[in-house]
Amino acid sequence: MALNRDAGYVLRANRTDMSYAMSGLVSVILGSALGGIARYFVSGFVARRVGETFPWGTLIVNVSGAFTIGIFGALAEDNASLLAIPDTWLFAVTGFLGCYTTVSSFSLQTLSLARDNQTAGAVGYVVLSVVLCLAAAALGFALVDLLR
């Protein structure tokens, strides 16, 4: 299972034609722009609905991103899939999901909870994030397997 398509694509691009690298770069830029916009709206929507005392918005973004990457990863295993095409992978996974999900916000919010003496909240957030994101990615793979 070769889910990290980014490095191999760049190596192939260097051996053939720089237009492939530019095409990949454009795919990542466009995906990142859309992923950032989606993250802004989803996280903000959740925060407005449930408040910001706990980072529910980031948690929802990361879990939904993990679910989506599980689906995309499973689909990419089929060489006939659109996601097996390097530019599509770079757009959807490296760009969109790379910008949509965030470890940096997760880290900052966990640290903020801990610094505010909310140790149980910080630990709970880490455990919830890891467990739910792993489960969501596995669910994405299972859903694709079920629909095949």
5 pLDDT higher than 60: no
Question: Mind listing the pLDDT tens digit for each residue in 9-58?
Answer: 444 545 567 888 899 999 999 999 999 999 999 999 999 999 989 999 99
Q: In percent, how much of the chain has pLDDT > 90?
A: 74
Cα–Cα distance between 49 and 9 in angstroms, integer? 41
Cα–Cα distance between 113 and 119 in angstroms, integer? 7
59 pLDDT higher than 90: yes
Whether the CB-CB separation of 99 and 29 falls below 8 Å is answered with no
> Residue 52 gets which letter from DSSP?
S
Please state the domain extents for the chain: 5-147
